[in-house]
Structure 1
Amino acid sequence: MLTLSFEDGTIRIDGAHADSVSKPDLDLPSIDYDPRSEAFRAPAYRYSDLIGALDEQSVDYTSRLSIPSLDLSSTYELREYQEAALAAWRENNDRGVLELPTGSGKTVIGIGAIEALSVPTLVVVPTIDLLDQWRRELCEEFAVPVGQLGGGEQRIENVTVSTYDSAYLRADDIGDRFGLVIFDEVHHLGGEGYRDIARLLAAPARMGLTATFERPDDAHEVVAELIGECVYRLAVDDLAGEHLAPYDIKRLTVSLTADERERYEHAQETFTDYLKRSNLTLRQGSDYQKLVMRSGTDPRAREALLAKQRARDIMMNADGKVDELTTILDRHRDDRIIVFAASTEFVYRLAERFLIPAITHHTGTTERREILDRFRDGTYSRVVTANVLDEGVDVPDANVGVVLAGSGSQREFTQRLGRILRPKTDGERALLYEIVTEETAEERISRRRR
């Protein structure tokens, strides 16, 4: 008879010996013998696989990881595509990632999973804003205390919401506490440290929620191993017009001024000349990291990097973009507008120029909530931000977005588009402007993100 227990982020298997026929002959290569405790061990996240292998091979065992049943019911009625997503996850043995656009109601699907399984559940989120949103929703839907790890609280209940940071710090303590774990914005789990959250939890049921699963560094493959593959995927266009607002994307180009062009070309030439002299090519991210490392000892490499940054600032923050934004704001004076810039400095420049509220990483939580509340009730009709509102914040309805600058990330572009796609009562179309500085590297960046 084998006995399974949780210890030090692993599943400890007692009752089997390395030198005897009672050693578990299981098709689970992650089982290792620990001579110090004279027991076999498996990573906590393989608990479900371990149980399945034991059952399949009719091995007698008892488990001390007992997961109680809860009485949980919700008033939410899932839309057809939400039901389909939940069904796909359940058919995959309650594991996997669901990829749906911003504004499609991923939280509702998560609540549906909690209700369906009715077991102790941990929800892991990247930001304090999402922590508050999830806890508020869970308190409204379920008649049980809701715990919180993060945001100044450290209280564990059968249903608990945690930030990624707090879950990482407490993973050893809560590893055997929950039967279901939901990772919101699950692409964050690909980070080196955050991966340990999923590794150290024994929860057999695992759900990942995201609008953009794949990562450019391929870390989504690690997420798939820890949570499950993407089992359901919908794009923006699959829902636009019925569950999300129909939309248009309008790409506008602006020119550099004569002075900006001269400074841009000079900076670009400084950068490219160094690459040629050093026989360097930048075909992938690791090549750029080599250049960064070289800049620590090579003054010319450092000057080249600084020149590249100057060129980027010129094209991203061109005066022509400010002029174009003036026209857009005047044209849409009766609309609710979110303006996305690339840098904090440019955000504040625009806020001062147009007298509109700004939200950056410097904006305190209380001030940010006040700005968004006033945007929601119509006191403010426009806000300007960098990347703070890309994800993890409940942004009120807007119907016009203006991307003045950004990275080449498809994730970033999709998230910014999603900020204006909540269904409109009158069925009006949302409109996203993308403003690009012509004859610069920004044209290539625009093509890459789209």
Structure 2
Amino acid sequence: MPGALIVQSDKTVLLEVDHEDATSARRAIAPFAELERAPEHVHTYRVTPLGLWNARAAGFDAEQVVDALVTHSRFPVPHALLIDVADTMDRYGRLTLEVVDGRLVLRATDRPVLEEVRRHKAIAPLLGEALDDLTIVVHPSERGHLKQELLKVGWPAEDRAGHVDGESHPIALREEGWSLRPYQEHAVDGFWHGGSGVVVLPCGAGKTLVGAAAMARAQATTLILVTNTVAARQWRDELLRRTSLTEDEIGEYSGARKEVRPVTIATYQLLTTRRKGVYPHLELLDARDWGLVVYDEVHLLPAPVFRMTAQLQSRRRLGLTATLVREDGREDDVFSLIGPKRYDAPWKEIEAQGWIAPAECTEVRVALSEAERLAYATAEPKERYRLAACAPIKDAVVERLVARHPDEPVLVIGQYLDQLETLAARLDAPLLTGETTVRGRTRLYEQFRAGAITRLVVSKVANFSVDLPDASVAIQVSGAFGSRQEEAQRLGRVLRPKSDGRAATFYTVVTRDTVDTDFAAHRQRFLAEQGYAYRILDADDL
């Protein structure tokens, strides 16, 4: 039977979704191709240099990439594309950062490459004296900056310069009653072998345990950077439960506390607090001789953290995320400053192994009234999404959806506070927003986990690093425009396996014939790449 792929000379790859070989074809190209569009029947992927370099860093070679394309392609693969794939992947490793006689150097496999990059105006100031025709000294402080600039000109450097051990600190995993899952062990091995880099695992698949296991490998002081204080405390609780660390060894560096201990958990928000043009808390990075820096939800790194990470290239760095998608396009910075993708587990594979719950995704479409359509049509473009996302008809639809699941824990998630306040009142449910105190958030999460409350209305503060294992239904009413990673994170709130084995249910309520529909299609792209299909349902059919 003809293959499921059509590979085109512009580096787009079309996948026929209904083809019997679609799943294996998607799995074969996932390490190096990025999904661009995912309508019903044909998905469009693109082969990019960054995707190919990530695959190369993860151990794939050009022969494997070519074989994946040729094996699953319906028609002959354009020869020029195959040559370009090989040439692009060959660029990774032609330049390496190494330590020679105690000095950091940039070394090339051939002189023309080195001459090309050293003459680039952004790179020349970062380089020192030439030791020979293939080797140039680099100041250690420029290690991260140089990697960024080399990536921009299409010559990614493989960083073999190693890492300082940092201050040693004993950390062991407690494995009474549990053990690392096979994919978690593979993730840790991939990271440790590579030295630094990113591990991509689905929400609910235990990224925190990968971090704990990496810490046990490093046996060193560790700085953990997280999204918020609730996430910091969940990390602390998990480390206390899963490792030999005691409360006295784990410090919290947040708005509430300023503790620097052998293992310190800090929030991105505090680190990026700016006063009179400076970031006073970045000194935390020099407070100890860290042996490992862990970036939770690495796809969310703010610009100041990228800048400080450029100075941390001598430390081992582990990025954890469910999706490397960044709507600001800074995946290049993650690659160059944190490290390449070292491990990536497809969501559906983890689901098939029983480690995350299967999920049913449904897009429920509602319509504006004639008066609302007129208001929408005459509104300024920047106001249109809010008008569509907060359409009053959504409130009644959410009520009907909640009523369909009377005995299940339900999360209602949205972007706009006035919309969420209305829904909380109509559902007689607690509301959790950015203004809810850390103590208040913790109390609500505990009540939800204990079953004392079965409905919770949450803003975007619950997108990340929230452990609600019993939540089985999520209803999304509005989001951050077309954010793919937000959609993935919101589905992730309900993917932890259920004690009774039931599937998770994810609804997204969308206003038809508006930008709400366009943004919804964009948000769903990442999940479509992972094999999730959205059923479209008219609200009148509920």
TM norm. shorter chain > 0.5: yes
2:244 corresponds in structure 1 to 142
Mapped to 2, the partners of 1:54 and 1:373 lie a distance apart of: 45
Mapped to 2, the partners of 1:371 and 1:265 lie a distance apart of: 40
Distance 1:257 1:187, change over 3 A: same
Mapped to 1, the partners of 2:261 and 2:283 lie a distance apart of: 16
**Alpha-carbon contact 1:254-1:320 (below 8 Å) kept:** yes
For 1:215, the aligned partner's letter is R
For 1:87, the aligned partner's letter is D
2:291 corresponds in structure 1 to 179
Distance 1:170 1:315, change over 3 A: closer
Q: Is 1:312 the equivalent of 2:413?
A: no
Q: Is 1:249 the equivalent of 2:328?
A: no
TM superposition shift of 1:130: 1.4
Q: Is 1:153 the equivalent of 2:257?
A: yes
1:110 to 207, 211, 230: 211
1:271 corresponds in structure 2 to none
The alignment covers a number of residue pairs equal to 374
TM superposition shift of 1:24: 5.6
The residue correspondences of 1:191-270 to structure 2 (distance < 5 A) are: 191-201=302-312, 203-241=314-352, 242-267=354-379
Mapped to 2, the partners of 1:259 and 1:86 lie a distance apart of: 56
1:347 to 377, 400, 420: 420
CA RMSD in angstroms, aligned pairs only: 2.9
TM superposition shift of 1:121: 1.4
1:133 to 219, 234, 244: 234
2:185 corresponds in structure 1 to 83
TM-score (norm 2): 0.64
1:322 corresponds in structure 2 to 395
2:140 to 29, 36, 42: 42
Partner SS state of residue 155, structure 1: coil
2:488 corresponds in structure 1 to 414
**Alpha-carbon contact 2:384-2:515 (below 8 Å) kept:** no
**Alpha-carbon contact 1:89-1:95 (below 8 Å) kept:** yes
Partner SS state of residue 502, structure 2: coil
1:137-190 Cα deviation digits (max 9, x unpaired): 22342245122322432232222222224556444454361111111111232x
**Alpha-carbon contact 1:122-1:181 (below 8 Å) kept:** yes
1:436 corresponds in structure 2 to 510
TM superposition shift of 1:387: 1.1
Partner SS state of residue 462, structure 2: coil
**Alpha-carbon contact 1:240-1:247 (below 8 Å) kept:** no
Identity %: 29
Distance 1:311 1:177, change over 3 A: same
**Structure 2: tracts of 5 or more residues without a match:** 1-99, 108-122, 130-136, 148-156, 273-279, 525-542
Partner SS state of residue 379, structure 1: coil
**Structure 1: tracts of 5 or more residues without a match:** 1-15, 17-21, 34-38, 56-62, 268-306
Mapped to 2, the partners of 1:79 and 1:135 lie a distance apart of: 21
**Alpha-carbon contact 2:104-2:139 (below 8 Å) kept:** no
TM superposition shift of 1:216: 2.4
1:120 to 208, 221, 226: 221
Mapped to 2, the partners of 1:120 and 1:392 lie a distance apart of: 22
2:471 to 376, 380, 398: 398
1:91-116 Cα deviation digits (max 9, x unpaired): 21x21101111111000000001111
Distance 1:54 1:115, change over 3 A: closer
